[in-house]
């Protein structure tokens, strides 16, 4: 082999390696207090669980190596819908392992959820086995804006992250202001029916109930404890006799509306049983991620229809376009509204809201906004180039 040909082959191999190797590392202090050396510009990111995949997807979907759990359809851009499923690395029922990490060769693993010593130890173990940096991020609902900004800087999309974080702050703060004028005695008593038989529920303080808590309802499962998902009996549900029932799965939603055993419940009699929208991600907790923001608007309008200021149909369209890069059709909106208890559209107030300018075409969700469109989500300045030295230290 000639020296020239040998040199050319080496150059090709180095270029190929550079496409998957991390850049120079920086130090990142994660939510577990670990200082992790991470690449300044990660190109291949593995989400350890579904909530982490939503976070990476809304910020920089082109960096995802695959799905922890494939989301359901509703118009997701084809290039992302076709990503492989590598499985869930963390959580109670993992379907991936260190061998999976080695196979998909990411240069960064992101895990979001409740941070515990056990979870930190697991992250350290995966790092030792694979050599891939693994960071843990607290995804408490109130920390959603901070989480977006922090990971946006890690992924080199600080401008987009700031824009989405502003929308998150708008959602959370607007609702808090609305609840300040709400009498505690007028708050609805709510049961969240999870699972195929509707008999798993979420206690207050759990990730699964965070958006219900934030929307100001009284969770009937509060009598059972705090912070867990628990199984209950049909008699317990009948004893609680909730004002509103939120149902996770369509099969149980249909059965509850038809089964005589449930007809005595106040929520059933008053037609206050609603199906949680679930495409491409759930609106309450499936998974407990950034996707809960649109659910916050939905739940507040459902719980307090007399005080609601939001056109939920328009908001769904805006949120899906801005966060997911998905253009939903009128038929898709109506299909969701039919079972989710969303009232008919009433849009005169939209004229008073600021115009959403177009986002630049960067290959990320939100880049399809139309010029001059009016919507419910605030739009910040266009994304800017990331700083040369990443700034990870944000206010806690």
Can you give the pLDDT of all 396 residues of the chain as single tens digits? 443 434 343 333 333 333 333 334 589 999 999 999 999 899 999 999 999 999 999 999 999 999 999 888 777 888 999 999 999 999 888 999 999 999 999 999 999 999 999 999 999 999 999 999 999 999 999 999 999 999 999 999 999 999 999 999 988 887 765 665 566 677 899 999 999 999 999 998 888 888 888 888 899 999 999 888 999 999 999 999 999 999 999 999 999 988 999 999 999 999 999 999 999 999 998 899 999 999 988 998 898 887 666 688 999 999 999 999 999 999 999 999 999 998 876 543 333 333 333 333 334 444 433 333 334 465 543 333 444 444 444 444
Which residues have CB under 8 Å from 84's CB, separation 6+? 66, 67
Question: What is the per-residue pLDDT for 208?
Answer: 84
The CATH superfamily label for domain 183-310 reads Nitrogenase molybdenum iron protein domain (3.40.50.1980)
The CATH superfamily label for domain 19-167 reads Nitrogenase molybdenum iron protein domain (3.40.50.1980)
Phi, psi of 34 (to 5 degrees): -85, 140
Question: What is the per-residue pLDDT for 38?
Answer: 96
Domain boundaries, the chain: 19-167, 183-310
Write down the pTM of the prediction: 0.80
**96 alpha carbon, distance to own chain's centre:** 21
Question: What is the per-residue pLDDT for 92?
Answer: 82
Say how far apart CA 1 and CA 152 lie, in whole Å: 47
Instruction: Specify whether the backbone of 26 is left (phi greater than 0), alpha (psi in -120 to 50) or beta.
Output: beta
3-state secondary structure string, 61-117?
HHHECCECCCCCCCCCCHHHHCCCECCCCCCCCCCCCHHHHHHHCCCEEEEEECCCH
Q: Which long-range contacts (CB under 8 A, 24 or more apart) does 181-184 make?
A: 181/307, 182/216, 182/304, 182/307
| Cβ(87)–Cβ(79) below 8 Å | no
Question: What is the per-residue pLDDT for 377?
Answer: 61
Question: What is the per-residue pLDDT for 28?
Answer: 95
Question: What is the per-residue pLDDT for 24?
Answer: 43
Which residues have CB under 8 Å from 17's CB, separation 6+? none
How many CA atoms does the CB half-sphere of 99 hold within 13 Å?
3
Closest C-alpha to 158, from 381, 361, 369, 367: 381
In the three-class reduction of DSSP (H, G, I as helix; E, B as strand; rest coil), residue 137 is classed as strand
Are 19-167 and 183-310 equal in CATH topology?
yes
Phi, psi of 285 (to 5 degrees): -155, 15
Which residues have CB under 8 Å from 145's CB, separation 6+? 165, 166, 168, 169, 172
Q: Is residue 293 packed enough to be buried (19+ CB in 10 Å), middle (13-18) or exposed (0-12)?
A: buried
Closest C-alpha to 329, from 310, 312, 313: 313
Question: What is the per-residue pLDDT for 307?
Answer: 65
Distances (CA, A) of 191 to 12, 83, 215, 246, 320: 59, 35, 13, 6, 27
Say how far apart CA 252 and CA 294 lie, in whole Å: 23
Say how far apart CA 312 and CA 185 lie, in whole Å: 26
């Amino acid at each position: 082999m000639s020296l020239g040909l040998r040199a050319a082959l080496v150059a090709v191999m180095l270029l190929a390696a550079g496409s998957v190797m991390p850049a120079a590392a920086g130090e990142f202090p994660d939510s577990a207090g670990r200082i992790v050396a991470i690449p300044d510009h990660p190109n291949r990111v593995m989400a350890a669980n579904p909530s982490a995949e939503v976070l990476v997807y809304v910020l920089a979907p082109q960096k995802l190596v695959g799905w922890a759990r494939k989301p359901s359809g509703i118009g997701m851009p084809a290039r992302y819908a076709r990503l492989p499923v590598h499985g869930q690395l963390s959580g109670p029922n993992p379907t991936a392992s260190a061998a999976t990490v080695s196979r998909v060769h990411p240069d960064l693993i992101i895990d979001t959820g409740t941070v515990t010593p056990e979870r930190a130890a697991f992250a350290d173990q995966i790092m030792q086995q694979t050599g891939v940096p693994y960071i843990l991020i607290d995804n408490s609902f109130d920390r959603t804006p901070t989480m977006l900004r922090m990971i946006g800087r890690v992924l080199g999309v600080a401008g987009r992250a700031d824009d989405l974080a502003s929308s998150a702050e708008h959602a959370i703060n607007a609702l808090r202001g609305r609840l300040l004028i709400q009498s505690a005695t007028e708050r609805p008593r709510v049961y969240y029916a999870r699972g195929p038989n509707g008999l798993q529920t979420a206690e207050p303080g759990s990730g699964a109930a965070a958006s219900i808590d934030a929307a100001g309802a009284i969770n009937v499962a509060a009598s059972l404890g705090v912070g867990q998902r628990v199984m209950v009996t049909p008699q317990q549900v009948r004893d609680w006799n909730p004002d509103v029932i939120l149902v996770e799965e369509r099969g149980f939603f249909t059965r509850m509306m038809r089964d005589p055993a449930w007809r005595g419940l106040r929520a059933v009699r008053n037609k206050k049983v609603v199906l949680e929208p679930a495409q491409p991600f759930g609106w309450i907790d499936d998974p407990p991620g950034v996707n809960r923001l649109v659910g916050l608007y939905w739940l507040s309008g459902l719980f307090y229809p007399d005080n609601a200021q939001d056109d939920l149909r328009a908001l769904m369209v805006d949120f899906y376009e801005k966060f997911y890069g998905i253009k939903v059709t009128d038929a898709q909106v109506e299909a969701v509204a039919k079972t989710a208890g969303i009232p008919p559209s009433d849009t005169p107030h939209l004229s008073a809201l600021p115009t959403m300018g177009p986002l630049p075409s960067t290959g990320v969700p939100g880049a399809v906004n139309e010029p001059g469109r009016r919507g419910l989500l605030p739009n910040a300045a266009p994304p800017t180039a990331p700083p040369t030295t990443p700034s990870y230290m944000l206010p806690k």
